[in-house]
Each structure stands twice: as structure tokens, then as C-alpha cells.
Amino acid sequence: MRKGSSKKLFGLIHVADILWVILIAVLVFGAMQFSAPQEVSARAGDVTVRYTIEIGDRRNAAGERRLAWEGFHENVLIGETLFDAQMGFPIGTIVDVYARPFYVDALDESSGIIRRTRVEGLEYTYIVVEARAQISDYETLIGSHPIAVGRDIMVRNKYFASEGFVITIEEISR
């Protein structure tokens, strides 16, 4: 063989040229996969979701922050529309409400361990809301308001204003 010559496959095509073609094909395929627009898994208004908001505190009429007192859940009426407290648009209809005791973790100095202790007179309130939503691969939107588990949310209606966070979201119908 002469210096500078390379191996040819079947005496026609250089092996290095075949490897370059394969590499370029893989890169083009990968670029097409990553740049393709993602499909939306549901159209706006086609999905009803049920989500639960945990309220550990509330705002009084003067806007002062207060822990949720025992019996607060009785001020939340089923069937009422719930609104985003900052933007003022509706984010669903209240379908259920319940309460659980308010607990704190406190150091028990006599035994040197942390104990979970109930705080009398306070409770966590859970508001279950149903709304029409648009669900995509990236987020769940109620109107233009995104909701997600663990996300803070400020809510109000004519009987109360509170802040909490979403603890569950489930699709209930298409």
C-alpha cells in the first residue's frame, strides 16, 4: 500500500466516510427529537381536575396574618367559587372542606427528644376544589393560573382570604 491511502469498503467507499455519514445522521436525528414541539396532552377546558389546598393560616379583615383557629373550616362553604387572591380570577368551585388538628414539633426537655404536640384552638383546614383545566407536559393551568403540588397559593371568596399550598391534584374527567 502506498503512503496516504486508506482502506476502502468493497474497493469503492472509504470506511472513514461511512463513519462520518453515520455520525451526521445521528446528530440530525437527535436535533430533530430535541427541537420538536411537545404535544399538549389535553386541550383547554377538556379536563376537570380536583385539587386540595392546605390552609395553615389566614388573613383577617385588616390583612394581618393569623393562624387558622379551630372552626375556621366552618366559614368555607361548599359550592362557592374560589378566587385567586392576588389576581381576582376564579380558580374553581369548593366541593369539600375538612379540618385536622394543628401540630407543632417541640423539644421535650425532660427526655431530650422532639415530640409532636397538638396546639389547642388551632387547626389545618383542607379545601377541595374542582375546576376545568388545561394539562400539558409542563404544567396544569386553571385559566392562566398555574397550579402544582407544593406550590403556594393565595385564595379568597366573600367569606375568607387565606394562603396555603396545593397538596394533591387529580384528573377526574375529560
Q: State residue 56's pLDDT score.
A: 73
Tell me which H or E stretch contains 25: helix 15-35
Q: State residue 5's pLDDT score.
A: 54
C-alpha cell at 166: 396545593
Grid-cell match 446528530, residue found: 27
How many secondary structure helices (H) and strands (E) does the chain include?
1, 11
The whole-angstrom separation of Cα 105 and Cα 67 is: 16
Return per-residue pLDDT of the chain as tens, 174 residues.
455 556 766 667 777 888 888 999 999 888 877 775 555 444 444 788 999 998 876 555 555 555 666 677 777 888 999 998 888 889 999 999 998 888 888 888 888 899 888 888 788 889 999 998 888 777 888 877 888 888 888 888 888 888 888 999 998 876
Q: State residue 73's pLDDT score.
A: 78
pLDDT per residue as tens digits for the range 81-110: 999 888 888 999 999 999 888 888 888 888
C-alpha cell at 129: 376544589
Report the percentage of the chain scoring pLDDT > 70.
Answer: 79
Q: Is the pTM of this model over 0.75?
A: no
